Amino acid sequence: MSSVYDYRLNKWEEYFLNNGEKKYRARQLYQWLYQKQVTSFQEMSDLSQGLIAKLAADFSFDDLRLIDKTVSSDETIKYLFELADQALIETVLMKYDYGNTVCVTTQVGCNMGCTFCASGLLKKQRDLTAGEMVAQVLYIDKLLKEEDSRVSNVVVMGIGEPFDNYDNVLDFMKIINHDLGLAIGARHITVSTSGIVPRIYDFADEATQFNLAVSLHAANDELRSKLMPINQRFNLAALKEALVYYSNKTNRRITLEYILLDGVNIADRDVKALKKFVSGLNCYVNLIPYNPVLEVDYHSVDYRQALEFYNKLKQVNIHCTLRAKQGDDISAACGQLRAQQEKGQVNVLRSK
């Protein structure tokens, strides 16, 4: 049975037409799901009982069960959810002065194998549906509405490689972006990839206003291949060629994510390599202090080291930002909370 959140508006229009209903029913349904945020078909008072029965037979409402919730001293909140098949995923809420950002998971586990990342400790079991991604944003949006607030930004950077689940991820982004959906602006939605080059070309050709971020973390092939096995398949030359195509096709600025690893990727040679890689790209480098993962032997830099590397990049005219570390006191690195639950190290909440 499909999730009621899986369908984009045009697919709902096809569904209703194929079942002898008027096309406008799709817009009615979207309003109930995303504007009024009802959680049963029976609440949809302008639909006939026959249509309600048909919908209930064909679709279910995604039921995320809250397993654990941790709150950081900086107000970052990490949620551990159980899906209908008992699979575990994580969703993170980050509160900023400019709004509330939700970080969404796209897969149960991850096969990219990045050596610094907790997500890859548990291999990919399956892709999430578009509806399971929508349900993560809806869950948090409902909580925020109780505070007279809402989700204003979404980053598709949780567990999994979004471009390894491309079609579902694109459907998800278009659902939450739609005016009758959650109406989150396209420029407030960012999808991240570790560098699946063919999908970067596909994404460029979509002609959307969504933001693209690329997990770079090193700008020489030897080191990046050590950190990120995807580089052995799509090296830096192939990645840059795809990013140049994306920039030229969309005229959109790319974010290059760069985790700061003590003694690994913050030397002068790394500054030089970064300078060469960004040349000719419409991009900026987002420097991210590392949230340590117990199972891997990488360490974060201190603030002095981070600022020193930032200043070196600025001196060679690399556009960059230094992100404040968030949630390191609540296992905020992707996949940590899920991994701890799998090992029986977190408590299970019995209520939703």
- In angstroms, the CA 310 to CA 289 distance is 11
Least Cα distance to 110 among 127, 124, 98 occurs for: 124
Residues with a catalytic annotation lie at 90, 334
- CB of 277 closer than 8 Å to CB of 219: yes
**How far apart (Å, rounded) are the C-alpha atoms in residues 183 and 200?**
25
How far is residue 231's CA from residue 259's CA, in Å, rounded to a whole number?
Answer: 16
> Residue 315: what residue type?
Q
Q: What are 146's two structure tokens?
A: 């109780």
Buried b (16+ CB within 10 A) or exposed e, 304-319: eebeebbebbeeeebe
Other beta carbons within 10 angstroms of residue 262's beta carbon come to: 15
Q: Do residues 255 and 212 make contact, with C-beta atoms less than 8 angstroms apart?
A: yes
